[in-house]
Amino acid sequence: MIGLVLLSAPLVRAETTRPLTDQYIEAIRLGCSNALQSMRQIQRVEAVTRVNRGQEYEGMLKLVSALNSRIVLNKQDAPRLTSAASQMQTTFTKFQRDYLEYAEKFDTAQRINCREAPVSFYDALNDMREARAVVATDVTTFSELLDEYQASFNEFRGLVPEASSQSRAEELDP
The footprint of other proteins on residues 100-159 (CB under 8 A) is 100, 102-104, 122, 125, 128-129, 132-133, 135-136, 139-140, 143, 146, 150, 153, 157
Report which residue type is found at 156.
F
Residue 66 Cβ vs other proteins, minimum distance, rounded to whole Å: 4
Residue 148 and residue 143: Cα distance in Å, rounded? 9
For the chain, how many residues are written? 174
Q: What distances in angstroms separate CA 13 from CA 17, 44, 85, one per listed residue? A: 11, 29, 43
* Binders in 36-75 for other proteins, by CB under 8 A: 38-40, 42, 44-57, 59-60, 62-67, 69-71, 73-74
Return d(Cα 76, Cα 69) in angstroms, integer: 10
Q: Considering just the CA atoms, what is the radius of gyration of the chain in Å? A: 25
For residue 112, count other CB atoms closer than 10 A to its CB: 19
- Alpha carbon dihedral 53, 56, 62, 63, in 10-degree steps, equals -140
Which of residues 2 and 18 has its CB atom nearest to other proteins in the complex?
Answer: 18
* Site for other proteins contains 172 (CB under 8 A): no
Total residues at interface with other proteins (CB under 8 A): 72
Of 2-10, 33-41, 83-91, the segment contacting other proteins by CB under 8 A is: 33-41
Q: CB of 124: closest distance to other proteins in angstroms?
A: 12
- Between 69 and 90, CB nearer to other proteins: 69
The piece of 4-12, 22-30, 80-88 that touches other proteins (CB under 8 A) is 22-30
Q: Round to whole Å and give the CA distance between 19 and 119.
A: 11
Q: Which residue's CB is nearer to other proteins, number 1 or number 79?
A: 79
